[in-house]
Amino acid sequence: METYFDPADLAAFGDIGKDAPELAKKFFDYYAEVFKEGELTEREKALIALAVAHAVQCPYCIDAYTRASLEKGSNLGEMTEAVHVAAAIRGGASLVHGVQMRKIAEKLSM
Amino acid sequence: MSGIREMSTGIGTGVREASGVEPFADALARHGLSLGRDRVHTLQVNTGYLCDLRCRHCHLEAGPDRGEVMSRETMEAVVSFARRFPFQVIDITGGAPELIPDLPFLIEGISSLAPRLMLRTNLSAMSGTGRESLLSLCVAHRIVLVASFPSTNPSQADAQRGAGVTETAIVVLKRLNAAGYGVEGTGLELDLVVNPVGAFLPVSQETAERKFRADLLRKWGIAFNRLHTFANVPLGRFRGWLLQTGNYERYMKTLVMGFNPAAVERLMCRTLLSVSWDGFLYDCDFNLAVGRPLGDRKVHVSEVHELPPPGAPIAVGEYCYACTAGSGFT
């Protein structure tokens, strides 16, 4: 194995069903249902997935949902803003823990 | 079809990996289909490859340096042809037809010969000097304007069409709205054509129309009537770009995977004839791009005495997959 992430591995995602086919089927059925148009459009769901893909830093998901977002009709401006939303939440999640830091520091400090 | 689930199970399906793409004729046969002509009702007139833009997806490789333009003599032959046969739609395209000096002559000649006359515009060519009179002519003849507008994101649209083109297109769209085009109640129809700005398929027409309508109104106060989405055809400059960027194989697989047998019956080539800038007939603009004439024999419009009958075969190539992917190219 030369790298941990190989783009070709994405096409083998279905192999996860080997040795546990029922669980995989339940997951993929659920997955397919989640991304169907409901209260949110397929385009909006793909944009959310793109943002989450960046938050969880999944290269497969970034590949898949960059393509999906383009094919569902999002433009680069919207996709870039979605990534900024992910960045803001990730950054904010770190920063808001500063409140804990300050509370603890205040308790320990004179 | 997109997302991790589809990508994991779909890629490669129906594609002959070693020799590339399954021949389109074989794909038709595998589905028990054949591609034959229906009754012809549309005449597409390609006025030539001269264009002010050099779009990266152009299957005809049109551009400012192309000298192939329709002469007045050929226009006269086209008008005579359109007079001899009853077309429901005449569709003028290019290149950029606005740059052809005798375009008004062609419009005047054919406007009364079909109920619906369409003029394709890249919008940019409609912005040049002296275009006011052309716009007045379009209004007077109730010509349907079909405008290319690939993305509401200027950086992506400009990447396909050239720097600053979107800004110009928006100015022209506003001018068209001011003239009544795209405005409810005027009877002046303004349609948009959206091609993907890269190696991916277009979104469904309904979804794109809903989004573009909202975005164009919100961002620039622009209205239009209808929107058509077309997949980019892997010919000409677009094919070159696909190959150059390593996208060709995957794009073709995407088209092949998206093959929709139900789209075959509705393909525009079944009911359309395309006439080239020099007056010869083709099944469609894409067969024109690759130089495959109607019936595999170059016939000039001045020599045509009957239209191809229903059932007559249509020449196909692997680029036909672009017209059958998803909902198809109609």
Domains and CATH numbers, chain A: 42-108 (1.20.1290.10)
pLDDT confidence of residue A6:
84
pLDDT confidence of residue B170:
98
Classify the C-alpha dihedral B70-B72-B77-B79 as positive or negative: positive
pLDDT confidence of residue B86:
87
Using the predicted structure, report yes or no on whether residue B37 has a pLDDT greater than 90: yes
What ipTM was assigned to the predicted interfaces of this complex?
0.73
Q: Which residues of B touch A48 (CB under 8 A)?
A: none
Alpha-carbon distance of B286 to B329, in angstroms, equals 12
Contact (CB<8Å) A64/B155 = no
Give the gap in angstroms from C-alpha A105 to the nearest C-alpha of chain B. 45
Q: Percent of chain A beyond pLDDT 90? A: 86
Alpha-carbon distance of A102 to B226, in angstroms, equals 58
Task: Please write the tens of the pLDDT for every residue from B207-228.
Answer: 999 999 999 999 999 999 999 9
- Per the listing, tokens 């002959």 go with B16
Task: Please write the tens of the pLDDT for every residue from B132-168.
Answer: 999 999 999 999 999 999 999 999 999 999 999 999 9
CB B315 within 8 A of CB B296: yes
Of B117, B131, B223, the C-alpha closest to B173 is: B223
Q: Which residues of B touch A49 (CB under 8 A)?
A: 3
CB A83 within 8 A of CB A51: yes
Using the predicted structure, report yes or no on whether residue B11 has a pLDDT greater than 50: no
Task: Kindly report the CATH number that applies to the domain delimited by B38-245+266-313.
Answer: 3.20.20.70
CB A42 within 8 A of CB A35: yes
pLDDT confidence of residue B18:
34
Q: Which residues of A touch B7 (CB under 8 A)?
A: 10-11, 13, 63-64, 67
Token pair in block for residue B74: 């050929």
pLDDT tier for residue A9 given thresholds of 50, 70 and 90: confident
Task: Say what the pTM is.
Answer: 0.87
Query: Is any Cβ of chain B less than 8 angstroms from the Cβ of A73?
Result: yes
Contact (CB<8Å) B156/A75 = yes
Query: Is any Cβ of chain A less than 8 angstroms from the Cβ of B152?
Result: yes
Using the predicted structure, report yes or no on whether residue A10 has a pLDDT greater than 80: yes
CB B53 within 8 A of CB B124: yes
Count Cα atoms within 13 angstroms, Cβ side, for B28. 20
Contact (CB<8Å) B203/A73 = yes
pLDDT confidence of residue B9:
31
Using the predicted structure, report yes or no on whether residue B16 has a pLDDT greater than 60: no
Using the predicted structure, report yes or no on whether residue B2 has a pLDDT greater than 60: no
* Across A62-86, average pLDDT: 96
pLDDT confidence of residue B328:
58
Amino acid at B104: P
The 3-state DSSP class for residue B90 equals strand
Closest CB to B8 among A13, A43, A71: A13
Of A63, A30, A59, the C-alpha closest to A46 is: A63
79-108 in A: which are within 8 Å (CB) of B? none
Amino acid at B121: T
pLDDT tier for residue B301 given thresholds of 50, 70 and 90: very high
pLDDT confidence of residue A4:
81
Of A6, A72, A15, the C-alpha closest to B9 is: A15
Length of chain A: 110
Q: How far is CA A93 from CA A37, A90, A99, in A?
A: 30, 5, 11
Contact (CB<8Å) A31/B5 = yes
* Across B219-248, average pLDDT: 96
pLDDT tier for residue B10 given thresholds of 50, 70 and 90: very low
